[in-house]
Structure 1
Amino acid sequence: MSNQGHKVAVITGASQGIGAGLVTAYRKLGYAVVATSRSIAPSQDADVLTIQGDISDRATAERVIAACVDRFGRIDTLVNNAGIFISKPFTDFTEDDYDAVLGVNVNGFFRISQLAVAQMLKQGGGHIVQITTSLVEHPNSAVPSVLASLTKGGLQAATKALAIEYASRGIRANAVALGTIKTPMHPEENHEALAALHPMGRLGEVSDIADAVIYLENAPFVTGVILPVDGGQTAGH
């Protein structure tokens, strides 16, 4: 074991986009980080442990948490950032779409969160953050998204349930509900149309999401909150 003095964050879906931005943000905060995704590369930073794996597979969650505790001795924060978003008319979703989205968005959340909470209870506290979508509360006919709402809506409900179940035991649970963020997921040619969905008329930046998660990290009296970071979409159009 090494680096036992650090606080430690586990971040899923951490190889690019928002996940990579969260790794950087938590390192700036002084946390050691365990970063996982299917294709993540080794880190040159001794305080960043990377673990490749499919988060929809329970074995990946078990490897990530075991490696985190072995290397750093604790888990202070879990950010469930890994997610799949497929926008299709409801009747066009295939079995493969369903299995892929449920696998990452729901199964990927469930086992790693169970293991993290068990460790946090031993330590006397911790924080779990889900990354969701503002489409849960504010669907848009231009972006058909039943599978996103089914899965990320479930995560938002679970976030509140976790917050209340563990409020007296030092574990907080919150979520950040995104608008559309400028990441490798969205090709440049779609940016203008996607920006127009937001009352503010622009896409979000990875830094907007990292700032929101770090706000929640530093807010000890905040739990059970779904924080929209969506350019005003939740408020209206």
Structure 2
Amino acid sequence: MSTETQDQKVAVITGASQGIGAGLVNAYRKLGHAVVATSRTIATADDAGVLTVRGDIADPATAERVIAAAVERFGRVDTLVNNAGVFVAKPFTDYTVQDYAAVSGINLTGFFRLTQLAVGQMLAQGGGHIVTITTSLVDNADARVPSVLASLTKGGLQSATKSLAIEYATRGIRANAVSPGTIRTPMHPEQTHQFLDALHPMGRMGEVDDIVDAVLYLEGAPFVTGEILHVDGGMSAGH
């Protein structure tokens, strides 16, 4: 670890190769943070302030490597953004054992071990911040989008966010979540856009910057913890 990076804040971001994750990497660099970016397919960064770690977040060994790399390279972990997630929309009885394993592996196991390790490091430093990306469908089920596995996993993350916030409220660690509607990213083919736009009371999908801005708000809000911030075009308010 070099002395010039010793006091620089460090953000760990999962699912960082594209979409919201890539937007978060850029945003935290603009804030002046060093970034540890991880995903299964992430490429090596040209920026010396970005350390990339390739791996499947569903494998706890990836979490170990990510936090170890952050501490070895930059000396600390100030923020963890649990952005990696997978969404499989199927009628409940059509979900397979493989679907369950894939969704729970990324959405739950990936969150659990990485957050444990990050909190351990944050406690040693005297504080930190955890932000988890969930989904508005957790609070507002929609018959047009069958989503039991999303609600089972991401709903668990929203409850865990509140538990973490309370458990560590006196020890300098905040925990918050951003609950998006559908966001316009490369994962949604053009032919689905009209349907996805119509799911939102505002009549359109959100943009990556909408979620990035919400995370940055929480980053700079020292009196906010245990918050589930809905950025969903009104989905959670009703239809």
TM bucket normalised to smaller = over 0.9
Counterparts of 1:120 and 1:5, CA distance in 2: 14
Cα offsets for 1:103-138 (capped at 9, x unmatched): 000000000000000000010000001100010000
In the alignment, which residue of structure 2 is the partner of 1:142?
Answer: 144
Among candidates 158, 161, 168, match of residue 159 of structure 1 = 161
In the alignment, which residue of structure 2 is the partner of 1:64?
Answer: 66
SS in 1 for 2:169: helix
SS in 2 for 1:167: coil
The reply on whether 1:234 has 2:239 as its aligned counterpart is: no
- Consecutive unaligned residues in structure 2, runs of 5 or more: none
In the alignment, which residue of structure 2 is the partner of 1:55?
Answer: 57
SS in 1 for 2:236: coil
Cα offsets for 1:36-91 (capped at 9, x unmatched): 00000000000000000000001000000000000000000000000000000000
Counterparts of 1:28 and 1:192, CA distance in 2: 33
- Consecutive unaligned residues in structure 1, runs of 5 or more: none
Among candidates 177, 196, 204, match of residue 179 of structure 2 = 177
Normalising by structure 2, we get a TM-score of: 0.98
Cα offsets for 1:140-168 (capped at 9, x unmatched): 00000000000000000000000000000
Q: Give, in angstroms, the shift of residue 5 of structure 1.
A: 2.4
SS in 1 for 2:237: coil
In the alignment, which residue of structure 2 is the partner of 1:210?
Answer: 212
Q: Give, in angstroms, the shift of residue 10 of structure 1.
A: 0.1
In the alignment, which residue of structure 1 is the partner of 2:199?
Answer: 197
SS in 1 for 2:93: helix
C-alpha RMSD of matched pairs (Å) = 0.5
Among candidates 208, 217, 220, match of residue 222 of structure 2 = 220
Q: Post-superposition, which runs of at least 4 consecutive aligned residues in structure 1 deviate over 2 A?
A: none
SS in 1 for 2:137: coil
In the alignment, which residue of structure 2 is the partner of 1:90?
Answer: 92
Normalising by structure 1, we get a TM-score of: 0.99
Number of residue equivalences = 237
Counterparts of 1:193 and 1:229, CA distance in 2: 19
Among candidates 131, 135, 139, match of residue 133 of structure 2 = 131
Counterparts of 2:189 and 2:67, CA distance in 1: 33
Counterparts of 1:59 and 1:29, CA distance in 2: 29
Among candidates 116, 120, 123, match of residue 122 of structure 2 = 120
Counterparts of 2:231 and 2:30, CA distance in 1: 21
Counterparts of 2:26 and 2:202, CA distance in 1: 26
